[in-house]
A and B are shown apart, each in its own frame.
Chain A
Amino acid sequence: MNIIAVLAAFICGLPILAVAAIALGGGSTDYLRHLAETRLPTYLFHSAYVGLVASLTAAVIGTGLAWLTARCEFPGRKFFTWALILPLAVPAYVAAYAWLDISQAGGPLDRMSWGLFPTIRGTWGSGLMFALVLYPYVYLLARNAFTGQSADAYDAARTLGASAFGAFWRTSLPMARPAIAAGMALVIMEALADYGTVAHLGSPTLSIGLIRAWSGAGSLLDAARLSLILVVFALVIFGLERHGRRRMQVQTSSGKQRPARRFQLSPLQAGLASLAAFMALFLSMILPLGRLAWRALREPVANGLAQASFNSLTVAGSAAVIATLVGLTTAYALRRKSVLGTAAARLAGVGYAVPGAVAAVGVIALLSGIQRWLDPTWESLTGSVFPILLTGTAAALVLAYLSRFVAAAISPCETALARVTRSLNGAAKTLGANTRRRLLAVHLPLIAPGVASALILSFVEILKELPATMILRPFNFNTLAIIAHQYASDERLGEAAAPALLIPLIATLPMIFVARYLSSSGENGARP
């Protein structure tokens, strides 16, 4: 089992290794020196800046909303519980195109506010866009933590005279910290890997720099080298997150002895809670997608949307299931703390911080290498040519998705597994439960919400993935993200609207199903 997990994680990491091989293999160029003398410090600064704005803002929004839906009762709570995940299905660059359109000089917000509303642009603007569409990472993971927490500490704090907020701040929040940190790490890495948003809003991050090295200077080699900096960033973030988690382990309480009840808020508080949840949806989805839809009214509807929806659904669905299985087995491997397992898991995870275009290059290099090696062997054995790997199948696409997004599946599974404490496992063992029974009766109920989160996160990520899909897809194969981007990049926002609206719509289908399941398990748990 452990071997399979290590192997699977390792395969997911191969494309990034291929990129590293490209980066380290080529001869020396003077482009990096040129960059170091000119733009590199700017790129590094803005990457750090955008990651910070995005993750901190997402942490505040995500944690706040998670606490409200997990521990408070207010009008619309059941709806918001799952709907608040939906903004994740809005590609950040779509939000950016719409927000710049609304807020720039001459746009409706600018006119309505007599020019007082700031233009959403630059690095802080990009960070804000990421926070708006990525806060669900923090929300999902933090919410699982809050619903799984025992109420003992919180109640004790209240009995000792702490205010509701004080008790939250000093007991519930610290216990949820590993989950929040895991969510923030995902937000940072996605912000670092993004190209479309920062390019449109004018934020010179490192991913801009490496795409420029490739497209402007024509040096894929230097682009690969620059992407190694992002890989190092990712490893540092992983390290920090692990460090924090290890420190927390002692304090995490086990099991669900006495789950927390939800508070009945006062009418005013309840109103504000509903408003806060609504605002999150309004700013991240309703306003930007509404703007696109409004522009769409004047445009013809794009062709091939039905086929593209089907393609998006099947590719994202199957790849997400694989990613989740890999994520879960990897999380178990990580639990064993074997050096090999940890290394493979980290390798698989770093792809998340690398721009999709670069990960795709890794996949191309990898598969064409295998092809070149297979061709003569196969021909000498069978006398016929080996079928072409890249164009013939979706293997390339699935591999690219795994190398990019398996981190989004590993993190939730890992966080969920932390709930299965050693003492719990030991107790089950003492009671004579075999491995199978321990997994089904003890592990499964505890980790199910986390696994469901992993499934949703990877599904939605793959649904909106763009650069790798574009270059690795088989002939005549469109997805909604591709159609939306092709119009948006040509500055035809109206025509981009229909596919851009369909992405969250399609994401809703599995999400409602999983959310129902999640909230029902949450409800049961909350019963006193």
Chain B
Amino acid sequence: MKNTLTLFAATLALAACNPASQTSDSASAESEGRVVNVYSARHYSSDAVVYAAFTEATGIEINLIEARGDQLIERIRADGERSPADVIVTVDAARLHRAEEAGLFAQSDYSEFADRLPDHLIHPQGYWVGVAQRSRVIAYSNERVQDGEITTYADLADERWNGRICVRSSGSVYNQSLLASIVAHEGEEAAEAWAQAIVNNMARAPQGGDRDQLRAIAAGECDVAITNHYYFAMMANSNEPADQAVVEQTTLFFPNQDTTGAHMNVSGAGIALNAPHPDEAREFIAFLVSDEAQRIFAEMTNEVPAVPTAQWDNATLSAMMPFTQDDLEIAELGANNAIAQRIFDRVGWQ
């Protein structure tokens, strides 16, 4: 049994050393040059390109952890003063709001971006800035739906769509965020009535992701679907014939163009309260809203750039732009998220 114990100890040591060696790499990088520790809820190929460009431009190395927003918040919160996090990046408004509520962000003066970013994408107290946006939109079948037959989110509640709507589960943060915006604009009661009507009009119980809803339109299972604009764009830019066929049979439009504007969810970034490298963090955030990073987001992820004046080359996205965007306060969107969740539970939106 002694041998077993030795082996046990050796394995423990091995397990403890292996990833630790990577940390010591970063520690040596610290002594040689500058680093920034990024905790990001994003996980796109575009980000790797942006990070590489940042290191190229500034010489600052990036240490990265990518995980779901709630988990990142919990880890940073638990680490407290000892947290090595410099920058916190989230993919939606509710997480941004929650991180702010948990007191994870440091205040910073972002007024230098005031002429680049719309007002609502800079936090009033300087906790974060928006870096990219995705819109929740509606797509319909070219065959079975007339152009102009549907123009708003509210239209989806109409009886004529009974058994014709496809949408994913309410566990999706994008659905939560959309309903949170409706709560903000029309109140909780109206929002619940809307959600109930959508459940009644569903063609099938929620399943799959946003792309699967678009595929279901092409397959004739439903006539309209709620999706994020960039999934449609991704399919339009795909080489796959099946994706192309779906795009040809469906039309995407931005709802509420004459009223509130299309719902926008925000990916934002802020400096962590106990950031060991606040200057590098600041440079990193400045880079995220630079023309270069904004171009990469628009071209590789089909996101709507946070900086309206940024230039990019992406025909699919250009064809969608410009459109009227809902510029609801992110704080309101974030605060309504929990209310939206309860509405979903009450109306039985799976």
Chain A complexes with chain B: yes
Q: How many residues of B contact A (CB 8 A)?
A: 75
Q: Taking the complex as formed, is A7 at the interface, i.e. its CB lies under 8 A from any CB of chain B?
A: no
Q: Does B123 contact A (CB under 8 A)?
A: no
Query: Is B1 a contact partner of A1 (Cβ separation < 8 A)?
Result: yes
Instruction: Evaluate whether A391 and B22 lie within 8 angstroms (CB atoms) in the complex, with A122-B207, A202-B207, A470-B66 already known.
Output: no
Q: Do residues B219 and A217 form an inter-chain contact, with CB atoms below 8 A?
A: no
Residue contact A491 to B211, C-beta cutoff 8 Å:
yes
Shortest distance between the CB of B91 and any CB in chain A (Å):
11
Whether B185 sits at the interface, judged by CB under 8 Å, is no
- Max count, chain A CB within 10 A of own CB: residue among B66, B219, B240, B345: B345
- Closest A residue to B301 by CB, please name it: A490
* B28 interface hit (Cβ, 8 Å): no
- The answer to whether A315 touches B70 (Cβ under 8 A) is no
Q: Which chain B residues in 1-19 approach chain A with CB under 8 Å?
A: 1, 4-5, 7-8, 11-12, 14-16, 18-19
Tell which of B7, B20, B205, B239 touches A298, judged by Cβ atoms closer than 8 Å: B239
B63 within 8 Å of A by Cβ? yes
A63–chain B nearest beta-carbon distance, Å: 31
Residue B80 is within 8 A (CB to CB) of chain A in the complex: yes
Contact A486 B8 (CB under 8 A): no
* B23: A residues at CB distance < 8 A: 391-393, 474-475
Contact residues of A between 319 and 374, Cβ < 8 Å to B: 319, 321-322, 325, 357, 360-361, 364-365, 367-368, 371-372
Chain B: minimal CB distance from A335 (Å):
15
Chain A CB within 8 A of B218 CB: yes
Instruction: Report B-chain residues with C-beta under 8 Å of the C-beta of A106.
Output: 215-216, 218-221, 242
Further 9 A-B residue pairs, CB within 8 A, beyond A105-B216, A315-B19: A100-B208, A105-B220, A106-B218, A215-B171, A388-B79, A390-B78, A394-B20, A476-B22, A477-B22
What are the residues of chain A within 8 A of B340 when measuring CB–CB? 216
Name the interface residues of A460-509: CB closer than 8 Å to any CB of B: 467, 470-477, 482, 486, 489-492, 494-495
Complex Cα gap A258–B229 (Å)? 68
Interface flag for B163 (CB, 8 Å)? no
Q: Is B144 located at the chain interface by the 8 A CB criterion?
A: no
Q: Are A392 and B75 in contact (CB under 8 A)?
A: no
- Chain A residue nearest in CB terms to B69: A215
Q: Name the contact of A473 in the complex, choosing from B26, B65, B207, B212 (C-beta under 8 A).
A: B65
Asked if A201 and B98 make an inter-chain contact with CB atoms under 8 angstroms apart, the answer reads no
**B350 lies within 8 A of chain A by Cβ:** yes
Check A52 for interface membership: any CB of B closer than 8 A.
no
- The interface size bin for chain A is 35 or more
Residues of A within 8 A of B220 (CB): 105-106
Q: Which among A214, A397, A439 is the interface contact of B70 at CB below 8 angstroms?
A: A214
> Do B231 and A491 touch (CB < 8 A)?
yes
Query: Are B345's CB and A39's CB within 8 A?
Result: yes
Is residue A524 contacting chain B, with contact meaning CB distance below 8 A? no
Query: From residue 97 to 134 of chain A, which have CB atoms closer than 8 A to chain B?
Result: 100, 104-107, 110, 119, 121-122
Scan A216-243; emit 1 where CB is below 8 A from any B CB, else 0: 1111100000000000000000000000
A471 B211 Cβ-Cβ under 8 A: no
Comparing A172-180, A204-212, A278-286, A423-431, the segment that makes contact with chain B is A204-212
| Interface pair B216/A315, CB less than 8 Å apart | no
A320 to chain B, nearest CB (A): 9
Main secondary structure of the interface of B (DSSP, over half): helix
Q: Which of B204-236 contact A (CB under 8 A)?
A: 205-212, 215-216, 218-221, 231, 234
Distance in angstroms from B8 CB to nearest chain A CB is 5
Among A4, A201, A202, residue most surrounded by chain B Cβ atoms (within 10 Å): A202
B78 lies within 8 A of A364 (CB): yes
Pull 12 A–B residue pairs with CB atoms less than 8 Å apart, ordered by A.
A104-B207, A121-B207, A220-B70, A319-B15, A322-B8, A325-B4, A325-B11, A390-B75, A391-B23, A395-B15, A467-B68, A475-B37
Kindly state whether residue B319 has any CB partner on chain A within 8 Å. no
Whether the Cβ atoms of A202 and B219 lie closer than 8 Å is: no
B162 interface residue per 8 A CB criterion: no
Q: Known contacts A215-B173, A322-B11, A470-B71: does B209 contact A491 (CB below 8 Å)? A: yes
**CA–CA, A416 to B176, complex, Å?**
49
* In contact, B94 and A395 (Cβ under 8 angstroms): no
**A475: chain B residues within 8 A (beta carbon):** 22-23, 26, 37, 63-65
The residues of A that contact B210 with a CB separation of less than 8 Å are: 491
Cross-chain contact A318 with B82 (CB below 8 angstroms): no
Interface: B120 (CB within 8 A)? no
Neighbouring A residues of B70 by C-beta, 8 Å: 214-215, 218, 220
A491–B98 alpha-carbon span in the complex (Å)? 26
- B138 to chain A: closest CB distance in Å? 18
Q: Which of B175-225 contact A (CB under 8 A)?
A: 176, 205-212, 215-216, 218-221
B216 touches A398 (CB 8 A): no
The winner among B20, B70, B80 for most chain A CB atoms within 10 A is: B70
Measured between beta carbons, the chain A residues less than 8 angstroms from B26 are 475-476
Shortest distance between the CB of A72 and any CB in chain B (Å): 37
Q: Which of B1, B15, B84 contacts A315 (CB 8 A)?
A: B15
Segment 85-108 of B: residues with Cβ below 8 Å from A: 94, 98
B67, A470: Cβ atoms under 8 Å? yes
Q: Indicate which residue in B176, B219, B338, B346 contacts A105 across the interface (CB closer than 8 Å).
A: B219
Q: Which A-B residue pairs are the 6 nearest by beta carbons?
A: A106-B219, A216-B341, A105-B219, A202-B207, A475-B63, A368-B78
Residues of chain B within 8 A (CB-CB) of A357 are 68, 71
Which single member of A110, A208, A321, A394 contacts B171 (CB below 8 Å)?
Answer: A208
Residues in A neighbouring B173, C-beta threshold 8 A: 215-216
In the complex formed, the residue of B with least CB distance to A369 is B78
Q: Does B342 contact A34, Cβ atoms closer than 8 Å? A: yes
Contact check, B219 vs A200: say whether CB atoms are below 8 A apart. no
> For residue A390, which residues in chain B have a CB less than 8 angstroms away from its CB?
75, 78-79
Q: Which residue of A lies closest to B71 (CB)?
A: A471
The answer to whether A3 has its CB under 8 Å from any CB of chain B is no
Instruction: Encode A283-312 as 1/0 by CB contact (under 8 A) with B.
Output: 000000000000100100001000000010
Nearest CB of A to B92, in Å: 10
Instruction: Say yes or no for A248: interface residue by CB 8 A criterion.
Output: no
In the complex, whether A257 has a CB less than 8 A from a CB of chain B is no
CA–CA, A303 and B52, complex, Å: 13
Contacts of A486 in B (CB 8 A): 43, 66
Task: Give the docked Cα–Cα distance between A158 and B114 (Å).
Answer: 87
In the complex, whether A164 has a CB less than 8 A from a CB of chain B is no
Task: Kindly state whether residue A35 has any CB partner on chain B within 8 Å.
Answer: yes
